[in-house]
Amino acid sequence: MPPTTDHLSPNHGPRATDAVIDMLVLHYTGMVDADAALQRMTDSASEVSAHYMIDEDGKVFRLVDEERRAWHAGVAQWRGHDDINGRSIGIELVNPGHEFGYRAFPEPQMAALISLATAIVGHHSIPPRNVVGHSDVAPSRKEDPGELFDWKRLATAGLGLWPAEASGEPDDVPAMLASYGYDISDIDAAVTAFQRHFRTERIDGVADETCARRLAGLLSLID
């Protein structure tokens, strides 16, 4: 667990008494800088928060205690569950996002994230399949942390999954997406979210053979 600086937010509430924390959701701040993001997430009027924020230099801010329900995911769904805030830990990564000059996530930030996420996943026994991005759980609304985020590196560190392409002729991409966990009510958005996470060389919402093979490879890791 990396050192953390408390910058506490009022924007949280109780989890359900029977809540099990079994998800880690990663975001980017999508604001011009870290100060603007902290100001927003600690402003009660915004009704937005996360458990942690990691600046680009690797500094970690603790905003909400992990036992509390932070307000980071909004309307979202994963594996049939729709109260994502109630079952997850949320981490915001300082990055201007697609609106303000999206860029790669620097080494100090990634190293701090891996250290923090490893501690969180270990403490709560979060399965790799449930280490996700905001766009994975809200594909019709969100793009973050986006195609420049290094999901493969996280998976190599034991945080999440990364597939080899399956052989054969896999088909029925919507069914495979749903089996993995995606909400497929907007199938084009679900395919795009999958591409942002697992097929960043082409992000167009079109489920081609490469998408199908990678999905089949993912499902083979959880069967």
pLDDT digits (tens, 9 = 90+) for 38-48: 999 999 999 99
What is the residue range of 210's domain?
Answer: 164-223
Q: What is the pLDDT of residues 129-144, one digit of tens each?
A: 999 999 999 999 999 9
> Which residue's entry shows tokens 């937010």?
9
Q: Which positions ≥6 away from 201 have C-beta within 8 Å?
A: none
Among 115, 136, 162, the domain boundary falls at 162
Q: How confident is the prediction for the chain on average, in pLDDT? A: 96
What's the rounded Cα separation, in Å, for the pair 103 and 124?
31
- Catalytic, 147? Answer no
Position 168 pLDDT exceeds 80:
no
Match 């569950």 to its residue by tokens.
81
Read off the pLDDT of residues 16-27 as tens digits, 9 standing for 90 and up.
999 999 999 999
- Residues 134 and 172 both lie in one domain: no
| Amino acid (1-letter code) at residue 145 | P
Q: Does one domain contain both 182 and 127?
A: no
Q: Is there a single domain that holds both residue 28 and residue 113?
A: yes
Question: 123: which residues sit within 8 A by CB, 6+ positions away?
Answer: 66
Per DSSP, the three-state class of 27 is strand
The reported pTM is: 0.97
Amino acid at 199: R
Same domain for 149 and 194? no
pLDDT for 223: 61
Same domain, 213 and 134: no
- 105-111 long-range contacts (CB < 8 A, ≥24 apart) are 105/56, 105/145, 105/148, 105/149, 105/150, 106/56, 106/57, 108/56, 108/57, 108/58, 109/54, 109/55, 109/56, 109/57, 109/58, 110/150, 110/153, 111/58
Q: List, for residues 52-87, the tens digit of each pLDDT value.
A: 999 999 999 999 999 999 999 999 999 999 999 999
Sheet strands (E) in the chain: 4-6, 12-14, 23-28, 52-54, 60-62, 68-70, 88-93, 131-133
Residue finishing a domain among 136, 162, 188: 162
Pick the last residue of a domain from 141, 162, 183: 162
Number of domains in the chain: 2
Shared-domain flag, residues 158 and 182: no
Closest CA to 160 of 168, 169, 151, 170: 151
Name the catalytic one among 47, 56, 92, 201: 92
